[in-house]
Amino acid sequence: MQPVVVVPGPPTHAARVRRILGDRVTVVSSAGAQAHLAAGPHRTLLLQHSGIMLVDSAGVVRYRLATALPAGSFDGPTLQAAIDRL
């Protein structure tokens, strides 16, 4: 099983996550708000919520972090721990 991380934004955002997590996961990006809307985060007032979800092969969400501040929407060590538990 190969985990996939979808990062909303340009490929440079995906590259940052890829550098942190390494080759154990596939990291892709999605321009615009499509990935946000598909995963549930939405705008509150003028802020676009950001987050990361880890979904296993059965479709069960194993990790989710969402926030109104994009800088707080990524916690590499905690995400890595969730991946290690798969």
Question: Which of the residues in the chain have pLDDT under 50?
Answer: none
Range(s) of the domain holding residue 58: 4-84
The whole-number pLDDT of residue 84 equals 92
Residue 59 to residue 32: CA distance in whole angstroms: 24
- pLDDT (tens digit, 9 = 90+) per residue, 10-34? 889 889 988 998 888 888 887 766 6
- Total length of the chain: 86
* Structural domain count, the chain: 1
Cα-Cα-Cα-Cα torsion 10, 27, 18, 79, nearest 10 degrees, comes to 110
Radius of gyration, CA atoms only, the chain: 12
Structure tokens at 7: 């990062």
